[in-house]
Structure 1
């Protein structure tokens, strides 16, 4: 490990990411596939912010024609080697152009959408999604819920510890979260230590805190109609989503937010 701030231990080392977040049941990908089937979506799917490729590969195995896109070359190299099947391309979710390729759905899981920190970033993402989708196509996303932090401090009150062991080395993290209200960001400081004697790694990251009605407004401005918007059940809620779960209630009190939006076929978006 390196003691230099900046970088990210897990995303720079995808094998560590998968060790820290094992997902043998592919719960997020199964939830996404369930929503695609529920809305009779066609087979061509763009997995935006695909990371290590696990979810993209599951959607591919389910019969989808999948393209995984990510900004991290390390993640893409890992995905091509360890989770083959989908096509993998490098793209910045804040603004991308995949040429003439048109998709039936864009899937954006695990708060990847919230790396759009500014309004311009959000506009760039939705503009790019609109360009990449065929009329009637779907945007299926899962993320942290900005509204959860209105009065809830359980994730902010004290630093959280975590850890995992990989190839004989134990990694331990100390994570502190704070809300930057002016920027509307959830900022994270995380310090990793390892028992192999290497120096600590300090890293900083942030997620945009989008509120449900703010998300509806942005989607509508780019030509989307919201079909679903709710806190749960979902792949990272308690209790977690399961096949055959009842229809979501439409509440937004939990710490996760799930959205399915459809690109309108005949309206002109209010933003270019």
Structure 2
């Protein structure tokens, strides 16, 4: 499915009926050949937007998966780079691609770092956290950053109600809620639980100063709104 080297429909079904951790362990060897991997276009646009704010010292990729975020961190960070994820399978793939990086297996809702990083990023992972779990996630990132440190991540604009994607994402989230109501263990992945204002509110409550400039490198939508914004959450100096 997606490509000849990607997962089959049966493999995706088995993953979807597993826990989040075990599902990603199963998907890890073929993850980079699916649309779930953050695109290089989005990674490069993020790096371009962050470059004028650097250089940075050490960098952290939160929910690093197979390590795609190192395309952003390694050129921007002069110190060590670290990725953290709870899936051993994803980390094994990340280590194979980037053996020079420090890879840490941990639950990112209780990150094991204190004032260790200057830049933290995350890509495509926030839908794996229920809204009630985000305060612990953002508090852990806040603790992991040095004073003046920055958390950055892109967030897509909401599709208009008349678009195909509005209804596709609504249908996916509805199907996921039904799946989690009738099947255990749950697989938490929702596309509509991370609106921009909710992200701003949760980050501000964690102590960050938040700005959300448009990612101009990706251009506007047909209605003139930005396709993506870059959330920049700064820990006070």
Same fold flag (TM > 0.5): yes
Q: Which residue of the partner structure matches residue 211 of structure 2?
A: 227
- Measure the CA separation in 2 of the matches of 1:39 and 1:11: 35
Q: CA deviation at 1:100?
A: 4.1
Q: CA deviation at 1:254?
A: 5.0
* 1:126 pairs with 2:141: no
State the aligned residue count. Answer: 211
Q: Which residue of the partner structure matches residue 73 of structure 2?
A: 59
User: What is the TM-score when the length of structure 1 is the normalising length?
Assistant: 0.64
Q: Which residue of the partner structure matches residue 105 of structure 2?
A: 90
- Measure the CA separation in 1 of the matches of 2:174 and 2:226: 19
Secondary structure of the 1:54 match is coil
Contact 2:209/2:236, CA 8 A, preserved across alignment? yes
Contact 2:61/2:122, CA 8 A, preserved across alignment? yes
Q: Which residue of the partner structure matches residue 209 of structure 1?
A: 193
- Measure the CA separation in 1 of the matches of 2:196 and 2:72: 28
* Structure whose CA Rg is larger: 1
More strand by share: 1
Contact 1:49/1:68, CA 8 A, preserved across alignment? yes
User: What is the TM-score when the length of structure 2 is the normalising length?
Assistant: 0.72
- Measure the CA separation in 2 of the matches of 1:252 and 1:216: 22
CA 1:12–1:253 in structure 2 vs 1: closer, same or farther (change >3 Å)? Answer: farther
Pairwise CA RMSD: 3.5
Q: CA deviation at 1:84?
A: 1.9
Deviations, residues 126-171 of structure 1 (Å, cap 9, x unaligned): 10111001111101011344xx1563442144xxxxxxxxxxxxxx
Q: Which residue of the partner structure matches residue 50 of structure 1?
A: 64
Q: CA deviation at 1:81?
A: 1.4
- Measure the CA separation in 2 of the matches of 1:121 and 1:211: 15
- Measure the CA separation in 2 of the matches of 1:214 and 1:22: 23
- Measure the CA separation in 1 of the matches of 2:200 and 2:114: 28
Q: Which residue of the partner structure matches residue 263 of structure 1?
A: 235
Q: CA deviation at 1:26?
A: 3.4
The answer for unaligned runs of 5 or more in structure 2 is 1-9, 177-186
Q: Which residue of the partner structure matches residue 114 of structure 1?
A: 127
The answer for unaligned runs of 5 or more in structure 1 is 158-175, 181-185, 190-202, 241-250, 266-272
CA 1:99–1:108 in structure 2 vs 1: closer, same or farther (change >3 Å)? Answer: closer
Deviations, residues 204-249 of structure 1 (Å, cap 9, x unaligned): 832353333332222221111123343x435xx4679xxxxxxxxx
Correspondent of 2:169 among 165, 173, 177: 177
Q: Which residue of the partner structure matches residue 138 of structure 1?
A: 150
Secondary structure of the 1:59 match is helix
Q: Which residue of the partner structure matches residue 94 of structure 2?
A: 79
- Measure the CA separation in 2 of the matches of 1:11 and 1:135: 35
Contact 1:113/1:141, CA 8 A, preserved across alignment? no
